Amino acid sequence: MTPDEFRALGHQLIEWVAAYRERLPDLPVMSPAQPGDVRRHFASAPPEHGVPLEGLLPQLDAAVLPGITHWNHPGFFAYFPSNSALPSVLADLVAAGLGVQGMSWQTSPAATELEEVAMEWLRQLVGLPPTFSGVIQDTASTATLVALLCARERTTGHGQGRGGLQGETAPLTVYASEMAHSSVEKAALLAGLGRDNLRLLPTDDAHALRPDALEEALRTDVEAGRRPCAIVATVGSTGTTAIDPVARIGEIARAHGAWLHVDAAMAGTAMACPELRWMWEGVEQADSVVWNPHKWLGIGFDCTAYHVRDPDHLVRVMATDPSYLRTAQDGAVKNYRDWGIALGRRFRSLKVWFVLSALGVEGIRAEVRRHLALARWLAEQIDATPGWERLAPVPLQTVAFRHSPSGLEAAALDAHNLALARAINASGKAYLTPAVVKGAQILRVSIGATGTTAGDVTALWARLRDTAATLAARR
């Protein structure tokens, strides 16, 4: 493809993306595709000879687009908001065009130094103390694995340089709430610590980790000769945005010499608002903090912010120093390859720069406050309406609730709410994801798409009531 051919098709695709964003409200939020619907449009073997790419555009529209679940749709209330703001799209175009590799400083100094700037901006945005240094990771799952690996190596005094976990005698243990994200369990298992050494602890009525349960678990393990390695505090759990008491957990972690990892994957963006920072009060005690600018801030996936108090420790755990990666500047610069698992690194800081510049700190705060108000409004409607039951506080933008018509047993109630969610999703007008919290099937409405207005939330609430009534009448 020549630069001129790139120009021609590039201009077409800029128009295609703009038109896609404009007609988003008219598309079904959740893809109506059935398994195999997309795949069958493609040849089973790669083409023997190259074809002009313009020829792919009809296939993009006919095969790919109907298979897209539209995360930027105003009716997207599922999982978590993952806004890919248009400035982020443009930054990705520039990053792809430059095609750089940011593994070492020398392999593109701009990739490293703009990432330093970006992580410093993000640190200030959410009010983390200047004692933290940051790096972009792909996902919170990966960052949490990195955190537990660093915790493991701190507890064992860098046992990886000797026999690894195979050279230890007393088992290392990890603690989190039963509402912690599944990536905590995954990280503990991948780190080799074993499920037997993972404590998923009971929570209070607001679904937050109970410090007394944590202390008791620690005491039991210490008495049994095990070694507390890491505690994960969640700020904004996935199911209900529950908020663990970070300050108290931090004290407990310090008393036991355990690593404190704060998982604020969802809540991080909200920390841009000073009035919300009570949610992670005590975060300065953390050894590592993860949050996702690719959730809710408008920076396109993937962009996870990982801040640590001791970058030297992180580098010691992650670094290798083969001769073919040595450069003349080593020692004087950061080589971000040593700050995570992957060696190669994309130029993700470009999108942080573009989005923070386009929105400004005040713009980000205004958007967070707007979404929080929409969530509060929905919570108020649920509280005021007989037959509906809110199942958790709403400190952020997620409302956890269910329809509880009288006379239904637990199993029927669960089935009713699951059917309700599936009917809403099948409508194409809104998309929400159900979850099970403490054994009960709940509905989750997670508000945060850029295009979501008060009208969209009002319409969702009306649709929920209508659909629930229809389903109830059918029994």
Q: List binders of a second copy among 23-42 (CB under 8 A).
A: 30-31, 33, 35-39, 42
Q: Is 83 in the site for a second copy (CB under 8 A)?
A: yes
Q: How far is CA 70 from CA 12, 24, 86, 122, 224, in A?
A: 21, 8, 15, 27, 50
Give the span between the Cα atoms of 92 and 108, in whole angstroms: 16
Give the span between the Cα atoms of 327 and 375, in whole angstroms: 51
Q: Is 51 in the site for a second copy (CB under 8 A)?
A: yes
The stretch among 353-361, 372-380, 401-409, 451-459 that binds a second copy (CB under 8 A) is 353-361
DSSP 8-state class, residue 34: P
The secondary structure element, H or E, covering residue 230 is strand 227-234
Write out the binding residues for a second copy, residues 122-151 only, by CB under 8 A. 122, 124-125, 138-142, 145, 149
The stretch among 13-21, 205-213, 374-382, 465-473 that binds a second copy (CB under 8 A) is 13-21
Q: With CB under 8 A, what is the number of residues at the site for a second copy?
A: 160
**Among 25, 27, 67, 405, which residue interacts with a second copy (rule: CB under 8 A)?**
67
Q: Is 412 in the site for a second copy (CB under 8 A)?
A: no
**Among 28, 75, 77, 85, which residue interacts with a second copy (rule: CB under 8 A)?**
85
13 or 408: CB nearest a second copy = 13
**Of 360, 349, 365, which is closest to residue 296 (Cα–Cα)?**
365
55 or 386: CB nearest a second copy = 55
**Among 27, 189, 213, 222, which residue interacts with a second copy (rule: CB under 8 A)?**
189
The torsion angle over the Cα atoms of residues 366, 95, 141 and 439, rounded to 10 degrees, is 50
The strands making up 440-446's β-sheet, listed across from edge to edge, are 76-77, 431-437, 440-446, 398-403, 388-390
Give the span between the Cα atoms of 146 and 263, in whole angstroms: 12
Q: Is 259 in the site for a second copy (CB under 8 A)?
A: no
Q: Is 183 in the site for a second copy (CB under 8 A)?
A: yes
**Among 358, 408, 471, 472, which residue interacts with a second copy (rule: CB under 8 A)?**
358
Q: Is 175 in the site for a second copy (CB under 8 A)?
A: no
The stretch among 64-72, 210-218, 380-388, 452-460 that binds a second copy (CB under 8 A) is 64-72
Q: Can you read off the two tokens belonging to residue 294?
A: 């690719």
Write out the binding residues for a second copy, residues 308-327 only, by CB under 8 A. 317-318, 320-325
**Among 165, 222, 415, 423, which residue interacts with a second copy (rule: CB under 8 A)?**
165
Give DSSP secondary structure letters for 431-446: EEEEEEETTEEEEEEE
Contact between 422 and 270 under an 8 Å Cβ cutoff? The reply is: no
